Structures are given as structure tokens and as C-alpha cells.
Amino acid sequence: TRAEVTAALGPDANPNAVGGPDQEACDLFHPANAPEGVVVMIQRNVLTRISLQDNTTLKTDRGFGIGDGANAIKAAYGETAHVQPHHYLGLPAEYITVWTNTGGATLNEHGWLPENTTPNARGIRYETNAEGVVTEIHAGGPSIQYVEGCS
């Protein structure tokens, strides 16, 4: 819950920033005591996504972080990696998504889960730029598929 996140990592470090259009439905923020570059997403009072961005030195369980190359990530995950063109930048920028649990849902032909139907799904998404370099990493449930913050 939001209360548990706040107890563990502190309150919103910048409470005047807008985290989402309806903060009761969805809010994005950097907890005050979290490492730099960590942003959490709280939807309807439940943590649904943790994101790494900017110049954080944190790494995923596979040892990947901001600044790593897309080809190394795709090689490490093999055919479990679903690749889509970046929504705004187009190819060669892309999203590399790996689902560790689909929550019983079937992925579509692009590797996407049906929205809001699989709350138990878990995965990780690497967002890359036109140079094939990771710029953001999102881990959590179906909300890792959101392109713009809470949507």
C-alpha cells in the first residue's frame, strides 16, 4: 500500500509535483529516502510499478541498468523478450518487455497483456533510445506497459 511504501522509503520527495491526473487513481513519485532515480507508481493505493531512470546506479536482477545496450538485454533474455518500437521515437528505439508471470492471461502478438485484467502479472520493461541504450526500466504489473506515466 502507499502507507507501506511511505513507511519504508519516506514520503513524496516533491509533493508539489503532479504525479498523475487523478492522484487517488494513480500517482507517481520519488520517495524521499529512496535512491536517486527511483520512482514508484501507486494505483488505487497499491504499489504497481517501480521505475529506474536518470543516472541511477541500481541494477536489475540480471545486472542491467540505465546506459546498458539493448542487444545485451535481448541476448540475455532470448525469446522471452518481447520487442516493440518506441511509441514516440520509433525504431530503432524500442521497448523490451519480459513477463515472468502473466497472471493467467495470454499475451497478444506484440507481447502485450490485456490492460487491467491481470493484476497478478509481473514483468520488467527496458525502454531504449535511438542509439539502443536503456533510458528507463520499469518493473511490476501491467502498468509497466504504460507509455506516459499513469496511462
* The pLDDT of residue 22: 62
Q: What is the reported pLDDT for 149?
A: 83
| Strand blocks (E) in the chain | 26-29, 38-43, 46-52, 82-85, 94-101, 122-128, 134-140
pLDDT in tens, 87-114: 999 889 999 999 988 777 777 776 777 6
Q: What is the pLDDT of residue 32?
A: 96
Helix, coil or strand: residue 18: coil
pLDDT in tens, 27-38: 999 999 999 999
82: which DSSP letter?
Answer: E
**Residue keyed to cell 518481447:** 82
Sign of CA dihedral 6, 54, 43, 98: negative
Strand arrangement of the beta sheet that strand 94-101 belongs to: 26-29, 38-43, 46-52, 134-140, 122-128, 94-101, 82-85
Q: Taking residues 109-124, what's their average pLDDT? A: 74
What mean pLDDT, rounded, does the chain reach?
89
Q: How many CA atoms lie within 13 A of 146 on its CB side?
A: 22
Do residues 38 and 28 touch, judged by C-beta distance below 8 A? no
What's the confidence (pLDDT) of residue 90?
84
pLDDT of residue 31: 96
CB burial readout 79-111, b (16+ within 10 A) else e: eebbbeebeeeeeebbbbbbbeebbebeeeeeb
Cα–Cα distance between 61 and 100 in angstroms, integer? 12
Q: Residue 114: what pLDDT?
A: 63
The predicted-structure confidence for 50-81, as pLDDT tens digits, reads as follows 999 998 999 999 999 999 999 999 999 999 99
